[in-house]
Amino acid sequence: MIRLLFALLVALAPALAAAAPLEADLGEGLHYWRAHEIPAELPGPAFASGKPCILDIRFAHASGGAGPVLLAWLRLHAAPRAPVFLLANAQTDPELLAPLDSPDAVNGLVILGPAAPRFSPDIALGITRAEDRRAYNAAEKGASLESLIVEKVEKERFDEERLAKEHLSDSAVGEAEDAAKPEAGTAPKPPPQLIDSVLQRAVQLHRSLLALRRL
């Protein structure tokens, strides 16, 4: 019996780990919290008290009158100079979003998410459900939020050998032949960086409000 229980715990460990809330400090006074189940995983009253924060409820489930509980939490935390950036999507449990379907539901609340039928966030992003899910899952699998927000700028490297080749005054035939030959040692291009566009936009909005001294 003990062995069976141990084996069951081992098998369930990844699922249990994935279900845990995700919390992070995104710098400049911005805090992040991801909840998978509302109200069980809502942060406590002290979370980001009096400061801007991001509450991520994309793909979140609701239970036991979660809508009014979430609304009360948002009213407690959101304010014009300490907004709550709520990340949601069409797959967020409708029970959570129904109480927010009013322009004056919460003062200081900004809802962001992918554009979709029957889902009208304050800021709609033109990404697909699959793109949103891939970026969301990346953090679930251990990718840092910074890697999903900050886009890397790859500067093209020009070494002496390459510059010399580009400035050779060969004949047109020779140039065509060289162009047809693959460069020795050329590494394949890495896949495009995975960016969480919804989270990135929330951080950018926070930084813009900071720069405008609105926070």
Greater confidence, 152 or 209?
A: 209
Taking the complete model, does pTM exceed 0.85, yes or no? no
Q: Mind listing the domains of the chain with CATH numbers? A: 14-153+193-211 (3.90.226)
C-alpha 198/C-alpha 209 separation (Å) is: 17
Label residue 27 exposed, middle or buried (CB < 10 Å: 0-12, 13-18, 19+): exposed
Residues paired with 84 in a beta bridge:
53, 109
Looking at 66-196, list the stretches that DSSP marks H as alpha helix, in order from N- to C-terminal side.
Answer: 66-77, 94-97, 129-140, 145-149, 160-166, 172-180
Classified as helix, coil or strand, 50 is coil
pLDDT in tens, 158-196: 455 554 555 554 444 455 555 555 555 666 777 889 999
Integer CA distances (angstroms), 130 to 76, 113, 120, 168, 197, in order:
33, 13, 18, 47, 12
Classified as helix, coil or strand, 140 is helix
On the question of pLDDT at 14 being above 50, the answer is: no
pLDDT in tens, 92-111: 999 999 999 876 789 999 99
Label residue 41 exposed, middle or buried (CB < 10 Å: 0-12, 13-18, 19+): middle
pLDDT in tens, 64-76: 899 999 999 999 9
* 3-state secondary structure string across 18-41: HCCCEEEECCCCCEEEECCEECCC
Nearest 5°: the CA angle 111, 113, 117 is 110
Residue 39 in contact with residue 64, Cβ under 8 Å? yes
Backbone angles phi, psi at 149, to 5 degrees: -110, -45
Classified as helix, coil or strand, 62 is strand
C-alpha 47/C-alpha 56 separation (Å) is: 14
